[in-house]
Structure formats: structure tokens, C-alpha cells
Structure 1
Amino acid sequence: MSDALHHLNKRKRVHTKELEPYPHPRKFKAFVDHAVYAAGILGPMFGALQVYKIWSTQNASGVSLSLFGSHVVFNIIWLIYGTLHKEKPIIIMYSLWIVVNTLVVIGTLLYS
């Protein structure tokens, strides 16, 4: 299920039953509760490799400006959503993605 649909369904469930405890008492759910923070940091770190390549070689050939530009726009929407709903993993992850994707866009504009 996509991130957007997951959170819409989660919001619907909030009003129909009690929220589950955090971290969850079941080991797998507790693991996922903590792993999402690692994923939120590691994902943008791997994206930073593209930033490094563009800026170190000063060459952005083959990089799609429209793709990374649209990522910045959608990352901002996700950041607003995470902030409004006080979802720390979403706030952390999309703040980092905004930085990474903005640097790719700037590098692409400078070095294409």
C-alpha cells in the first residue's frame, strides 16, 4: 500500500478504535516502530550519493530536472502532512529528502 493510502487508512482507524501503544508490546511491531526512524535517515543518505556525484564531478547529464523538481514539491506536501499530524518519522524523512532533492535540482540547474 502506498504511503499516502496507508496514512489515510490509519487516520480513519483512529476514530474507530483505540490507538495501539508505542512502542508496541509485540516484538515485530516494536521493531518496525523503531526501524522506520532508520529508514527515514538511511533513505536520504543513499539519495545523497546522487548529490555527491553531481557536485563532485560538476556534471548532471542524464539527471531529470522535472523528476527531482517534482520530488521537492511532493516532499513539501508530505512534510506539511507530517507536521500537521505530528508524525516524527515523516517529518524527519521528508525534511531530509527536501534537502537532498533540492541539492540535486540546484546541481542540475548549474551543471547541465
Structure 2
Amino acid sequence: MTSYSKGLHHYHIRKRIYQKHEPFPSKNKLKRNFDKLIYIAVIFGPIMTIPQLLKIWTSKNAAGVSFIAWASFSVISILWLTYGILHKEKPIIFMNLALIILQVLIAISALIYG
């Protein structure tokens, strides 16, 4: 078994080691660039939720916004956050923490203004 100084934090890293998949970071330029692109998604994913929240707050109207849907998104994000914490994956942690805050605010706003 290969030993990493940072430990085996992520399922896919463990899977690569045991199944003798390619090393990380990949030698393939496209894959390396995609690994970097994920950090942009971490930033812009939660930002794309802000306009929905602002629209609800400024108009004080949540017609068409489903509390159940946004509450469900929050539960899913909590699962992803837990996964990120357990595997010490910072992009997963940061993105889902931001998403949980925004999704809970939208769900509460849907109850108040819906």
C-alpha cells in the first residue's frame, strides 16, 4: 500500500491506490486543468444562489419558491458537508457550507413570504 504524508482523505484517492489507477495530480493536462476549474465552481456555485435570495427579500414575495425543494437541497448539502469534513476536502466543505447558509435562508424566506 502506498503511504501519503497527508493520509488517505478521499475515497477516490483510496480507490486509485487499491485499484492502481493513475496518480494524482494527473499527468493529463486536461484533467489537471479540470481539477483547478473545480475551485472556480466552489466560488461561483453559491454566488449563483444569491440573486434568488435577494429577489425574495427585496420583493417580499416568494411565490413559486418551494420550501420543500430548498429544505431538501439543504439536507443534501449537509450530507455533502459531512462527507467533505470526514475526508478533509476543503472545496467540498467551503462550497457546501456556503450553500447550506443560502439554502436555509431561502427556505425560511419561502415560509415567511410564501
Q: TM-score, normalised by structure 1?
A: 0.81
Partner SS state of residue 15, structure 1: helix
Q: Gapped runs of 5+ residues in structure 2?
A: 1-9
Cα distance in 1, alignment partners of residues 17 and 79 from structure 2: 22
Deviation at 1:18, TM superposition (A): 6.2
- Tell which deviates more after alignment, 59-68 or 86-95: 86-95
1:65 aligns with 2:67: yes
Deviation at 1:102, TM superposition (A): 0.8
TM-align CA RMSD? 1.9
Cα distance in 2, alignment partners of residues 28 and 19 from structure 1: 14
**What's the counterpart of residue 23 of structure 2?**
20
Cα distance in 2, alignment partners of residues 26 and 13 from structure 1: 15
Deviation at 1:52, TM superposition (A): 0.8
Partner SS state of residue 68, structure 2: helix
Matched-pair contact (CA < 8 Å) for 1:41–1:96: no
**What's the counterpart of residue 50 of structure 1?**
52
Deviation at 1:29, TM superposition (A): 1.4
Q: Closer, same or farther in 2 for the Cα pair 1:14/1:80, shift >3 Å?
A: farther
Instruction: Letter of the 2:112 partner, please give it.
Output: L
Greater percentage in helix: 1
Task: Please tell me whether Structure 1 or Structure 2 has the larger radius of gyration of its CA atoms.
Answer: 2
Q: TM-score, normalised by structure 2?
A: 0.80
